[in-house]
Amino acid sequence: MKWGPVNPVRLLHKNWYGRRSPPWVFFRSEPPLSRVAYVNGRYLSRRDASVNIEDRGYQFADGVYELCEVREGRLIDERRHIERLRRSLNELKIAWPLAPSALAVVMRETIRRNRVYNGIVYVQVTRGVARRDHAFPPAGTPSSIVVTARSLDPAANERLAAEGIAVITVPDDRWSRVDIKTIALLPNVLAKQSARSQGAREAWLVDQEGRVTEGSSTNAWIVTTDGKVVTRPADNGILRGITRSVLIDALKVQGLVFEERAFSITEAHAAREAFVTAASQIVMPVVRIDGRLVGDGKPGPVATALRRDFHRHAEWA
């Protein structure tokens, strides 16, 4: 244990096990808060962690990422996330920066060093560092990797889910390969910002036929007035969310009627329930779409039950 004077500013921040330090703690009894990132083979303090200005992630958004939930110190659906990372890398012809088995160790070590019990681990791989030229760098240029982890407050997430979130809709003006989980997220960034500036949590993207594709960082779902659970097929128009895949298994087990088809924004406005899914939020009820209440404006029973049961169907590693 390290003993020493406490920085008064730190008393205002949550400590590593998610509680505020009581003001009578005049000596530090918890581990230091400094966060750690894994960058190309080294664990660095976040203050010192940086990438080369010629990294192709920085220059061209030429890279991919994964985000995996950490729950009670365990990785949720790690296997599926690593499989999707493999697919993203293959589609873009980016080499593995290290063996998948080594990546599994690095993810756990990053979680450990950041003392994450509930939160997320983030992995980003880019095509590496090379003189700026649009075409691929010379063969053998190593890809770059960054792994970070941070805690999320499960209670805050539960409070949000108990209230439900508002979404707005915006045109989906992304490229045609959104099935690849690339770090090129500018349309998603702009969509999310539109949502935030209108007091909503998420933006649903709408295709040229007026049908919802997905959220800016989530998959989109509705429950129709006759109780069918609907989400868009995972073609090239959406990212095949891991939470989405697990949930499809879960709702079949629960005997719910599932329809994998596109739904219109008009249908969404008339839906009995709506929700979004993502690894960082699991199932998050949507209670307002473009300012109109969904159902009675409260999280619905289907979304609530799926949220409650999700982790029974997920893989814990």
Q: Name which position in 55, 172, 202, 214 contacts ligand PMP (CB under 6 A).
A: 214
Position 217 contacts ligand PMP (CB under 6 A): yes
Instruction: Point out the catalytic residue in the list 181, 192, 228, 298.
Output: 181
Among 110, 124, 169, 219, the residue binding ligand PMP under the rule CB under 6 A is 219
Is residue 201 close enough to count as binding ligand PMP by CB under 6 A? no
User: Is residue 277 a contact residue for ligand PMP (CB under 6 A)?
Assistant: yes
Q: Which stretch binds ligand PMP (CB under 6 A): 48-56, 161-169, 252-260, 276-284?
A: 276-284
The 3 state secondary structure assigned to the chain is CCCCECCHHHHHCECCCCCECCCCCCECCCCCCCCEEEECCEEEECCCCCCCCCEHHHHHCCEEEEEEEEECCEEECHHHHHHHHHHHHHHHCCCCCCCHHHHHHHHHHHHHHCCCCCEEEEEEEECCECCCCCCCCCCCCCCEEEEEEEECCHHHHHHHHHHCEEEEEEECCCCCCCCCCECCCHHHHHHHHHHHHCCCCEEEEECCCCEEEEECCCEEEEECCCCCEEECCCCCCCCCCHHHHHHHHHHHHCCCCEEECCCEHHHHHHCCEEEEEECCCEEEEEEEECCEECCCCCCCHHHHHHHHHHHHHCCEC
Q: To the nearest whole angstrom, how small is the minimum distance from the Cβ of residue 223 to ligand PMP?
A: 18
From the list 39-47, 131-139, 217-225, 304-312, the region that binds ligand PMP by CB under 6 A is 217-225
Site membership for ligand PMP, residue 242 (CB under 6 A): yes
Does the annotation count 252 as an active-site position? no
Q: Does 88 bind ligand PMP (CB under 6 A)?
A: no
Residues 15-74 that bind ligand PMP (CB under 6 A): 67
124 forms part of the interface with ligand PMP (CB under 6 A): no
Residue 75 touches ligand PMP, criterion: CB under 6 A: no
Interface with ligand PMP includes 278 (CB under 6 A)?
A: yes
Shortest Å, Cβ 293 to ligand PMP: 24
> Which positions from 163 through 192 interact with ligand PMP, judged by CB under 6 A?
188
Active site residues: 181
Residues that bind ligand PMP (CB under 6 A): 67, 188, 214, 217-219, 239, 241-244, 277-279
